[in-house]
Amino acid sequence: MKLTYFGHSAFRIDTGSSVILIDPFLSGNPHFNGDVAAATEGTTHILLSHGHADHLGDTVDIASRTKAKVAATFELANFVGKQGVEAIEPMNTGGTVKFEDFSVTLTQAFHSSSWIDDEGAITYLGMPNGLMLHFQDGPTIFHMGDTDIFFDMALIEELHHPAIGIVPIGDRFTMGGAVAALACRRYFNFQKVIPVHYGTFPPLDQNADKFREAMEGEADKILVPRIGEAFEV
């Protein structure tokens, strides 16, 4: 299985016959300087944690070009459907959708979810979620989306036992580095942790130093991939 990090919270996963994008915020992402069409070629599935512009990103354009299926909470899936996306998979928290060689379960997240149009009108897009991915051939991956820490992370670990955690650490709009490290150490038994959602914009923490320091004796679990370069897990 290959993962490619595009910066902020955006990933590509190549596994089996599937090419999965998570929160494909590429256009306008200051960390991504590649070609959107090339980076998303062959996409079969797009998974969305919530509807904010820095996560919904290029979903509509990519799905319209590749005919990828878009899986998201009910309101968000139908929102992109109204934008012209033909294949949507509406879900809700706790539910699972099975595809050919992987499944995705929506978990709880503490955040918000909406779209703001050019005139400033806000469209509510349902609950925010984390994304739990189980694969036929590969480690279980938990993309937390945007969230704060919460006690039920322990239950998520008990139910799913994810090996890889993709964890927001940038503060202000999500938990900060120290709290994110507490979540990882107290509630999960990750083999590898990928910190995300930092350094993209000025209000966010600009590096992973607080997270790395607070991980204490588990800092060796931290994986910081190079943006745009595929790596094996």
pLDDT tens digits, residue range 92-137?
999 999 999 999 999 999 999 999 999 999 999 999 999 999 999 9
pLDDT averaged over every residue in the chain: 98
Q: What is the pLDDT of residue 173?
A: 98
**Rounded average pLDDT per 10-residue block, the chain, 233 residues:** 98 97 98 97 98 98 98 98 97 98 98 96 98 97 98 98 98 98 98 98 97 96 97 96
Q: What is the pLDDT of residue 56?
A: 98
Name, in order, each residue with C-beta under 8 angstroms of 120's C-beta and a sequence gap of 6 or more: none
Q: In the β-sheet with 230-232, what is the strand arrangement from edge to edge?
A: 88-91, 69-73, 45-47, 18-22, 11-15, 2-5, 230-232
Per domain, the residue ranges of the chain are 2-232
- Class of 2-232 in CATH: alpha beta
- The span from the CA of 216 to the CA of 211, in Å, is 9
Task: Give the H/E segment covering residue 69.
Answer: strand 69-73
What's the pTM value of the predicted model, to 2 decimals? 0.98
| Two tokens, residue 177 | 């580095």
